[in-house]
Amino acid sequence: MTWNEAYIMKIFIDTADLNEIKEIASWGILDGVTTNPTLVAKTGKSFNEIIDEIFKLVDEPISLEVLSENAEDMVKEAKELVKKVQEKYQKNVVIKIPMNSEGLKAVKKLSKEKIRTNVTLIFSANQALLAAKAGATYISPFIGRLDDIGQDGMQIIEEITEIFYNYDIKTELIVASIRHPIHVIDAARLGADIATIPPEVIRKMVKHSLTDKGMQSFLSDWKKVKK
């Protein structure tokens, strides 16, 4: 493990847009991808077509979501999702499971079968703790949605990181539902393992008006240099 891998918060991209994934993966900053049915539907392409391409573009954890409502069907659907992926990419499959009692049952069963899970729709530290105890590989608190209803989404990230640190919990914390670059900075300052970020926010992270101004100044000055 390199210094970068050990100490820098990982960045996942939250999209199913193949062009965005391909472009941002080329920057060398992606550590994974999260998808959901809404994101896939926006592409206008079939689920199987999208999934095959994503696994080819990013050789890192890829989260795929189940749609079933009871534990038995969630487990069955999870196994089917794994089988849909080419064998060489199956090591990267992560199954997104909703945070409820049926989801916890499914996570427990899947963890015993060495299938990685990402418990989503988490809105409290209590839910995060239960998901971790059930065996979740990742948990995804949706901070933006908490902000939308007037709560401080980052407060639960602070609570979760403290609890996980206290007990050396191995479940990784993915800060999800990110709305803007400040969310990313706050997540990193609190020690989150991962931030899953929409492409438009990642692009904003690259930009700064003073960088653009500086580049224009350098180019202008260079034109004045005698060749």
Domain boundaries, the chain: 7-224
From first to last of its 227 residues, the chain has per-residue pLDDT tens of 444 455 799 999 999 999 999 999 999 999 999 999 889 999 998 888 899 899 999 999 999 999 999 999 999 999 999 999 989 999 999 999 999 999 999 999 999 999 999 999 999 999 999 999 999 999 999 999 999 999 999 999 999 999 999 999 999 999 999 999 999 999 999 999 999 999 999 999 999 999 989 988 888 878 888 77
Q: What number does CATH give the domain 7-224?
A: 3.20.20.70
Choose among 202, 201, 199: nearest CA to 19: 199
In angstroms, rounded to a whole number, what is the distance separating the alpha carbons of residues 203 and 186?
Answer: 17
Name the pTM for this structure: 0.93
The whole-angstrom distance between residue 118's C-alpha and the CA centroid of its chain comes to 9
Residues assigned a catalytic role: 96
Q: Which residues contact 85 (CB under 8 A, 6 or more apart)?
A: 51, 52, 55, 92, 93
Nearest-angstrom CA–CA distance, 93 and 210: 40
Alpha-carbon 59 to chain mean position: 14
